Amino acid sequence: MTDEFTTTVYYDDDADSSYIDDKTVAVLGYGSQGHAHAQNLAESGVDVVVGLREDSSSRAAAQDDGLDVATPREAAARADIVSMLVPDTVQPAVYADIEPALEPGDTLQFAHGFNVHYNQIRPPEDVDVTMVAPKSPGHLVRRNYEQNQGTPGLLAVYQNATGEASQEALAYAKAIGCTRAGVVETTFREETETDLFGEQAVLCGGIASLIKQGYETLVDAGYSPEMAYFECMNEMKLIVDLMYEGGLAAMWDSVSDTAEFGGLTRGDRVVDDHARENMEAVLEEVQDGTFAREWIVENQANRPNYEQLRQAEADHDIEAVGEELRQLFAWADGETEDESTDDERTRQRADD
């Protein structure tokens, strides 16, 4: 661990919009990220065409938003930059469709490196391959842009055929609002492996498992499910918000001394060296491609294990208890119409 911050971070003044001003961008997909990129680019003065299947349910939404819509191959043929914003699982098929439309000097751009890093997509050598990855759901990328704010992002260059891949990607990042907040330079390998590890070991897998285990421990000990839900699920947001705003130090400063002492003396007994060993094993499976192969085969088999696991999660008692409790409180009815629409887009699991 170094005391020096060596990662390069780019801001608005580092980006030259001329690298994208006279180019056409094809945004493939109109889900969480797709709708945000397309609208932000268009409002930044960039020529945008959205690529969607002819039977796509998103076509009407994109057209209602004032955007030009074509099939993915038609959009790619018209574009200088093709931004692949469909889900990872369908990207190889979409790429196979649009690959004949790519011309030397074009750019193939991603928001996640999975398919390139694990060789599910093999771009031709005469095109640039880049990544611009906002680090938030698309509805926040859009909302922050509309409020003249920015969303932090990542930038990576996998293939630099033209010699201008980095400058063009940075101009793209500026056009969607990321350089307002800061864009961190990385690589396809680093982004992919850290992203998968973070999701599996901490953000989605680790935290969800910790919440359920805590809930079950209290309920099995005879405490009410409602109290268990509040202490292990509901208050999680309060703690994470403190961490987000000021790191662990801000969290410790904000909780009671009793909570701080209890957390500092007991936390490592729960998430101990065995958890660290398990995390290292999870990371190794990401690094050597074990997880990628498992996920690819799962999709080829029509997701039998995935669907079974999802159903088991939905059937957990904590879900029923939480649904009932959330209906009791005023904030349950406080969602605005716009926020509901954004959340629907965020939840889209498969976009054209």
3-state secondary structure 174-206: HHCCHHHHCEEECCHHHHHHHHHHHHHHHHCHH
Catalytic one among 35, 37, 112, 117?
112
Of 71, 92, 77, nearest to 29 by C-alpha is 71
Check if 112 is active-site. yes
Residues 63, 69 contacting (CB under 8 angstroms): yes
Catalytic residues: 112
